Amino acid sequence: MKKKILAIMLAMLMVFNVAAPVIASANEQTERSLIEEYQEMIPQLSQNEMLKGATILEENKVKNVPLMKAYQEDIKTLAEDRSFDIPPVAQKFNEQTIYDLDSIAPRIKLLGLTGIFIHRCSTELLYKVQEAHSRAAGEVFVALVTAFNPFNSVEDIEKACEKISSVMDELKQFPDLTADDFATIYLKRVFNKSLADARKLLNNYYRDDLTEVGVKGKREFVRNSLSKEIADITKASNTQIQVKNLIELDARLKSACSQALLERDIYASPKWLSGTIDKQLNEIRNIKNKVNRYLTSEDRAKFDKELRKAQDVRRARDVSYSRAAEGVYILRDYVNELRAKYPEEFESILALREGETIHWSEFNVQSELPDPARIAKIIWLNNPSFDFLPDGFKPKDSEEIIVGYGHDNNKLEYGSYETYKNNREKLRASEEVINPDFGDENSDSNKTSNDGYLIFDFN
């Protein structure tokens, strides 16, 4: 049903984009008012377009409006993502609720304004004290009750539109959090996104083209140490915590993750093996199948043996990138020897000219020591979750941040907040002076799908 509604919406209008919650500065002033933003982003629809697919009743009544349902589902998804509580009437669309037909347009407008308001609250009010967020939540609650209550008049709904459009200026006047204030759930929500990204590192390998980013190919000490650090940071952040301590936790998280990614990969990614090495082995297997009947029994047996050896290397649980690639190169050398031994047969079957060598396809051999310039391209990792330092923030002098894993010594190295900042700047500098080649391999693993919204589009 959700996909059907989406098809209706896409055919009806070009959906507007609400930028993803990139954290706005506490002092940033948005030039556009809420109503101006709504007017720019939302095409003005005719009544017939708004009512497309709805059930029109007698006496100027209507029910089951697909556009209202799409907004309701988006508001619910948006509210869950941005930690807003919404009233029960907005949590599930009631297809049997009967509305005055003339009230649909203002209800749609109010829902659109409320969605933009929630988004702007989660960015522009991020660093405000809890009172600002409580007030904002109350405004959202009232707006949604008004939008879905069938007994509210057009005048009631229009007043609600005016109210939610003007209240943002009042909310911006609330004071910012200080370093000693307790972090709000909205501030923690931003940090929790970084925690979620960090946990993903534990279940993925690392590849130069960034189609995979993780520490699963690192030595056990690195994996276990990072896993423990993430768990400790998660536990600490789940308590009532001051803003200054949350900023310190963010530094601990980013430093531990970035330094772990810079460690050597000793195990090859299964995705790389299947997409790269298996492709090369299949190419050689095809050659073997074509020339097999021309080989002596001894050469056939040896070809089988060499192919099995390369396959065994590839299938080894602890195979490295270089070892897997070496297995392919050794096998190719053997095939080249056969090419020289059976020149006419190979030339005929592989369409080679006299004396022409076999044209082997190029493949990307994953580097085992990650390039810092590539790590620097991971945006969430190399930017603090919070883009402002509150009044009164002074980082600790103690060295509690992981800044290294001892390379091959299996010994954690610790540093201060300043050490973390210096390492971060060095990593960023490396990204500025290199033009990395991500190779030709295709992968869908870095593509993201956003099926959560029908109207709003958080790209």
pLDDT at residue 19 tops 70: no
> What are the residues whose beta carbons fall under 8 Å from the beta carbon of 22, sequence distance 6 or more?
123
Q: How far apart are CA 270 and CA 315, in angstroms?
A: 9
List the beta bridge partners of residue 418: none
pLDDT at residue 61 tops 80: yes
- Cα Rg, the chain, nearest whole Å: 30
What pLDDT is recorded for position 453?
A: 62
pLDDT in tens, 338-378: 999 999 999 999 999 998 999 998 998 999 999 999 999 99
pLDDT at residue 1 tops 60: no
Q: How far apart are CA 433 and CA 312, in angstroms?
A: 40
Q: Is the separation of the CB atoms in 182 and 243 below 8 Å? A: yes
Q: How far apart are CA 11 and CA 74, in angstroms?
A: 18
pLDDT in tens, 376-430: 999 999 988 988 889 999 998 889 999 999 987 899 999 999 999 999 999 988 7
Q: Of 446, 450, 447, 449, which is closest to residue 214 (Cα–Cα)?
A: 446
Q: CB count, 10 Å around CB of 174?
A: 16
Reported as a pLDDT band with limits 50, 70 and 90, residue 68 is very high
99's enclosing H/E stretch is strand 98-100
% of the chain at pLDDT higher than 90: 74
Mean per-residue pLDDT, 74-95: 92
Amino acid residing at 118: I
pLDDT at residue 436 tops 70: no
Q: CB count, 10 Å around CB of 182?
A: 16
Q: How far apart are CA 33 and CA 24, in angstroms?
A: 16
pLDDT at residue 14 tops 50: no
pLDDT in tens, 299-320: 999 999 999 999 999 999 999 9
Reported as a pLDDT band with limits 50, 70 and 90, residue 457 is low
- Least confident window among 149-153, 226-230, 384-388: 384-388
pLDDT in tens, 187-214: 999 999 999 999 999 999 999 999 999 9
- The residue written with tokens 């020149």 in the block is 343
pLDDT at residue 3 tops 70: no
